[in-house]
Each structure stands twice: as C-alpha cells, then as structure tokens.
Amino acid sequence: MKKELLIRRSGAKQGDMVCVTGNPGKAGIALLALEKKIPAGTEILKALFEPAPRINEGLALAESRSVTSMMDISDGLALSLHDMSKASGVGFKIYEDRLPALPHVKGLKNGELKDAAVFSGGDFELLFTVPPQKLEKARKACTLTVIGEVIEDGVFIERAGRVEELPARGYEHFGGH
C-alpha cells in the first residue's frame, strides 16, 4: 500500500459523517445466544467464529481518498468511537435508529440486540468518517451505513428522541467484557 493512502484514527473533522461497514454487533449476538443456549443461525455464529476483516473495503476506501479517519471496531463501536474521539480531538453523535439492522434471534430482547450493536466486540467491521461532499465516492468504494456525525466534543447516542452520553464500554483485553 502506498504511504500517502494511509488513513489514521486521528483525521476526523467536525461536520464529517460517521459510517460503518456491515452489521456491528453480530459477533456479540452470537456470544449472547451461546451463553443463553438459544439457537442462532449459521450466519450469526460465523460472525463470531470466522470473523472476516474488511481489508478489501478498507483498501477501496483508502484508494477513493474520501475518508478522513478509519479504524476497525473489534473492541466494540462505543469504545472505538471514544478512541477515535481522543485521537482526532473531536466528538461524535450517533443515532440508534440508523445502526444497521441485526438479524433477529428468537429469545433475545430488542434491547439486547441494540446493546450488542453498540457495546459488544468481536466484529471486524470498519468505523470511518467522510466529509459530506465525498460520501458518494465512499459509497462507490464499498457498502456503508451513515450512523451519525462528527461534532465538537463528547460521544453521544440519540435513542428514542433523547440524546445521552455513550459510555466507553466494549471489549477490554485484560478485563473481560
């Protein structure tokens, strides 16, 4: 890869759009289903046992020159947003109703699915920021979902019309979940 195509966590700018690839939380749902001894489909279990890093999408986004910052969300979306916030010196506001839909698993509550999308780790999806005028270039590079925007300070989530602080929770490598 060419050095000038390197994208860091530290490039997010206020006004950029916050995007993700795939369905963050799928691996967390698989783990939850296994812990509760609830049958989960092959597609969901595969997300946990055979994670697929988004290398091609990352390269295509870099080559599109449309992305200001990027990282994977293997430690969870919330923790990754906080890491990117610190690195870039900006804040984030995401919208729960814009998060990509997760497959329904009979026996899991809707709240558990939504928490998995935000707080569980194990997914190798990408979190990245794109200036609004470059969104179409990014969409040509890969399938993405716009989940929020870069703001001045703080990390927030809008749920059911209320904005609240998003805690820096996710997978902790030496502390468990």
The pLDDT, as a whole number, for residue 2 is 76
**Model-level pTM?**
0.92
Token pair, residue 172, equals 């902790």
Q: How big is the CA angle at 127 (ends 122 and 128), to the nearest 5 degrees? A: 165
Q: Give all strands of the β-sheet with 17-20 in edge-to-edge order.
A: 69-72, 126-130, 17-20, 145-151, 91-95, 155-159, 162-165
Mean pLDDT, rounded, for 61-65: 96
The Cα 156–Cα 159 span in angstroms is 10
Token pair, residue 154, equals 């703080």
Pick the range with the lowest mean pLDDT from 83-87, 115-119, 168-172: 168-172
The sign one gets for the Cα dihedral 146, 136, 59, 52 is positive
167 has pLDDT over 70: yes
Mean pLDDT, rounded, for 152-164: 95
Token pair, residue 23, equals 């369905």
Crossing angle between the packed helical segments 110-119 and 77-88, to the nearest 10 degrees: 30
Token pair, residue 11, equals 């490039």
The Cα 68–Cα 36 span in angstroms is 40
The pLDDT, as a whole number, for residue 156 is 98
Mean pLDDT, rounded, for 15-19: 98
Q: Residue 127's closest CA among 114, 144, 141, 139?
A: 144
